[in-house]
Amino acid sequence: MRYLHTMIRAANLDETLDFFVDKLGLIEAYRYNNESGRFTLVFLSAPEDLEAAQARQAPLVEITYNWDSEQYEGGRNFGHLAYQVDNIYATCQRLIDKGVTLNRPPRDGRMAFIKSPDGISIELLQAGEALPVQAPWESMANTGTW
């Protein structure tokens, strides 16, 4: 068995790609437009996975955009995406600087949660051991849900 991708639906493709590419830092590996089915699939990769993603079409996040408008509420029982990061504090600060809300700050030096514009929870996990607990992160409150 091999992991291929996680699919999430986007209500607004530009807004979703702004979040995942411009803010979170994923890279578009490839895109597929289906005229007859009236949808676009955009496959995104973490930078360190790009070579494997292009060669094996995995691991990827598939953004599905249906051209005809539709409401997607609550992530359709979707749990979350998870990404490992080299420095949880630096990653969270970069996201804050780009206007992203930390729903669960990395108080423990290991884990944080954010949400995409479509309400998809994204878990950020520190690579290796947790970083030492430090201010201002240790005292930050949760915001909303994740």
Residues tagged active-site = 123
Q: Are 92 and 112 in contact (CB under 8 A)?
A: yes
CA 55 to each of CA 7, 36, 49, 52, 124: distance values in angstroms, whole numbers, following the listed order: 19, 27, 10, 5, 25
Half-sphere CA count of 145, side-chain side, radius 13 A: 6
Report the distance separating Cα 5 and Cα 61, nearest Å: 5
C-alpha angle with apex 61: 34 to 28, nearest 5 degrees?
70
- Tell me the C-alpha distance between 94 and 81, whole Å: 19
